[in-house]
Amino acid sequence: MTWFEGSTRRIALRLLLSLGTVLVLLIILEIGTRVFTDIQPSLRIRDVAIGQKYRSNWTGEIDVTESRNRIPLRFHRDGFRGENRPYEKPPGTCRIAIIGDSQIAAIPTPEEETVVHQLERVLQENHSEITWEVFNFGVSAASTGQESVLYRKLVTKYDPDIVICAYYIGNDFSDNCSRLDSNPRIYMRLNDRGELEVEPYLAARKKLSVWLNTHSRFYVWQKHKFKHVTRNVADMGTFYEVRAGNLVFMNKDSEDLNYAWKLNEAIIDAFRNEVVGDGRQFLLVFIPTTEQLHEDTWDAFFARDESAQEFLERSYPNRRLSEIVARNEIDHLFLQDVLDKHIAGRPHDVPEAQVLYRGIGHLNPTGHLLSARMIYDYLLENDTISRLVAHYESQ
């Protein structure tokens, strides 16, 4: 054996020993996580085709800290909240699909109190001449671009008559742009010709993440802990910067921000055009943030970074979004209009004024009910409901 061959063999053995040590350590960590924590496999998993979904055909209960309640959950065969319904639409049935992020998925809220169920209930109670089915296609961390892919690849199988896209002002602006956010999801971009296209992503990495989310408790545990630590660091005054979701309030003339607004408009317009081109009605619903609803939470946010204050404008998101929907003639609703009336100028920590959990989180049952009523009133007033009833009664 030559010196070179011996040296190569020693290096190979050391590598094998190192890999074996790492493997044993990971096994110990996995066993320890299963024994000493109550962490469970993630309910939300990545999907190569549609970005993200929940565990298919899963039913159970989870403790939700935000709502301080134990919530029963069920996800149908396609991995979204609700019961299994046939793809083929039954005769005399009108279908509405609501697509959005965690505000629509509404994990902290019992299913019967969500905007999806409340809208279906009020439609069935007041227009029982036909059958109404409202679908929940919400999933945490989704973006509008990802939701348009979800519509094309899954939602169309259910043949909805109306597609409601819920745009959460609290993070969809940044979630739509990989320059502002890096959370794993499907992103879109504008190419050199100004055309909208899906950014390339590594399918193998996505598949590995799906497998680890399903089978490894340690992988899920470390993800939660890492997010918690980075969130705490970001919340410390010393290190505070305007984080991705709140960039929507910045009126600064910035290349990245200007690009993000242009990209958001292109995504929204393309999504609407695709839905309408399929012969369906499209409605864009804007969900406000706590900073828009409560003056005290805006003041607390505004005061955190003096260097950013000259660029922070509370009314900026609604003004820019209003320009987008007006320019592209998109049917829309700002839920802030009805939520503001309920809040009536009261601080976020007044229980009677809360439409979000603790006044700062996701929509609570009151927020869901008010939102459902506003959507229903809109569909009623513009004759959408009467038109659909007449159509399906004649079948």
pLDDT tens across 223-273, in order? 444 444 444 333 333 333 688 889 999 999 999 999 999 999 999 999 999
From CA 224, how far away is CA 102, in angstroms rounded? 17
Return the SS3 of 162: strand
Q: Would you kindly state where each structural domain of the chain is located, as residue ranges?
A: 1-36, 41-393
Tokens of 8: 């190569």
Q: How high is the pLDDT of residue 32?
A: 52
pTM > 0.75: yes or no = yes
Average pLDDT, the chain: 87
Tell me the pLDDT tens digit for each residue of 204-216: 445 555 555 555 5
User: What backbone torsions phi and psi does residue 85 show, to the nearest 5 degrees?
Assistant: -125, 150
CATH classification (class only), 41-393: alpha beta
Q: How high is the pLDDT of residue 214?
A: 53
Q: Is the pLDDT of residue 359 over 60?
A: yes
User: What backbone torsions phi and psi does residue 117 show, to the nearest 5 degrees?
Assistant: -70, -40
The whole-angstrom distance between residue 292's C-alpha and the CA centroid of its chain comes to 19
Tokens of 126: 């007041």
Element (H, E) at 392: helix 384-393
Question: Quick check: 242 and 166 in contact, CB under 8 A?
Answer: no
Q: How high is the pLDDT of residue 182?
A: 82
More confident residue, 46 or 251: 251
